[in-house]
Amino acid sequence: MNRRSFIRTASLAAAGHAAGLRPFGMMNAFAQGSSDYKALVCIFLFGGNDANNTIIPFDTADYASYAKIRGPLALAQNTLLPLTPLPNYALNPNLPDIQSLFNNGKAAIVANVGTLVQPLTRAQYLASQSLAPSSLFSHPDQQLQWQNYPQSGATPTGWAGRIADYMTPIYNPNGQVPMVTSCDGDTLFCDGASTSPVAVIPGSVQAGKCSESSSTCQSRQATAQQILTFESGVSLVQADNDITANAYKYDGILATALQSVTLQTKFPNDGALGSQLQQIAQMIKIGPSLGINRQIFFAGVGNFDTHAAQLSVQSSLLAMISPAIGAFYAATQELGVANQVTTFTMSDFNRAYQPNGNNGSDHAWGSNLFVLGGAVKGGKVYGTMPTLALGGPDDSGSNGRWVPTTASVQYAATLASWFGVPAAELANIFPNIGNFPKANLGFVG
């Protein structure tokens, strides 16, 4: 068991039912009424969402080509949701809330984004696959590369954590809790060199109290806290004790601050993304009392690994995501911070344009993503949509695995720039950003 796994397992066991939260470094919340407050909210679609059935060609000729190639995966044209500012494209029928945000200029599409070490064409990739990131089409590797930056070896930090390393002393010097919060467990995205996130189980922040009234729970809770006072002399055990002690500390701070939080906005009670985004909105609201001016959140949902029965699986997942995102944007309006909160999607990779034999699709590469919020320059596509042709100019082979024309690091650096990271600091957070012609794609500002 490695150190990260040990700490995760041991601290959760020690905290038991008491702390639906554990820390890993430094986060922030929101300063309602503070014009300088900003938040980034990442929604990670685990498993590799099929972007080809998320944003679909809508004009007659391109839709006919789409329907022919996608075969059993093709969505009926009369069910698609038109994008008014983008008449040649439409959305999956299960995304009405995102359609509304896009048509009203509060959402944008960033096209054909993927992990890259440097700009790459189909011809270059076919001539030398060593120019591409390592372990393409691998779920765990590509998830880590999206959360960090594409390279051949792993690092212990993610880009949100590195942003927090730099920005916490500037924007949150008196923050009572860390700058980065995960509502979906431990993630590399959140870890910095001096930053560890708070990890919250939505709806379970309860000031270190048992979630049951039994004397057994009370006894277990008292024992767990007593253990933390012992000096073991073993570095791993002591590190775990420090983490768990911080968990109780931050749990108490957040539970006290959240006691009086109410929102008029109604979120889907789905136990998944809706619950995570509701918790994030509540934490945004309590920022003023916690000395917070910058905050980064991580939420996650899956499983988009649709090798079989894709139409039904993806439809149900997107039908869950859309109202959750719609409610979250409405909550930012309620809180008066719609222009100060930017939400964005990430995913392992796209899926192949050509279906497999199980009414599903296999792992691919470049994908189309959404960015949402009042500061987004919405109603537009940023970047270049891939040519949807098997073996075409954007295909890395012959099955419709698009070579990205926008790098994930450019996508992330654009968000970081809006968040307040100066241009001169971007290379410290994204070491390969200098390989690309633009560090800021201009979709938010």
d(CA 294, CA 170): 10
Mean pLDDT of 144-160: 85
Task: Please state the rounded mean pLDDT for residues 175-182.
Answer: 94
Phi, psi of 162 (to 5 degrees): -70, -35
pLDDT at 67 over 80: yes
pLDDT at site 259: 84
Domains and CATH numbers, the chain: 16-216+262-435 (3.40.720)
Q: Is the pLDDT of residue 12 over 80?
A: no
Tell me the C-alpha distance between 5 and 277, whole Å. Answer: 26
User: Looking at 151-165, 208-222, 282-296, which range is the least confident one?
Assistant: 208-222
pLDDT, mean of residues 34-51: 93
The rounded distance, in Å, linking the Cα atoms of 139 and 145 is 10
CA distance 23 to 21: 7
Task: Take residue 429 and report the two structure tokens written for it.
Answer: 């957070």
Q: How confident is the model at residue 28 (pLDDT cuts 50, 70, 90)?
A: very low
For the chain, percent of residues with pLDDT exceeding 90: 74
Q: What is the pLDDT of residues 296-342, one digit of tens each?
A: 999 999 999 999 999 999 999 999 999 999 999 999 999 999 999 99
- Is 111 strand, coil or helix? strand
Q: For CA atoms 333, 184, 319, 72, give the dihedral sign.
A: positive
Q: Which residue has the tokens 């001096």?
A: 194
Q: Could you tell me the pTM of the whole model?
A: 0.88
Residue 206 has pLDDT above 80, yes or no: no
For all residues of the chain together, what is the average pLDDT?
87
Residue 247, pLDDT score: 65
DSSP letter at 131?
Answer: G
- Is the pLDDT reported for residue 106 higher than 90? yes
pLDDT at 149: 78
Condensed to tens digits (0 to 9), the pLDDT of residues 357-397 reads 999 999 999 999 999 999 999 999 999 999 999 999 999 99
- With 0-12 CB in 10 A as exposed, 13-18 as middle and 19+ as buried, what is 174? exposed
pLDDT at 287: 81
- Cβ-in-10-Å burial (0-12, 13-18, 19+) of 60 comes to exposed
Structure tokens, 445: 């500002």
pLDDT at 218 over 80: no
267 or 233, higher pLDDT: 267
* pLDDT above 80 for 241: no
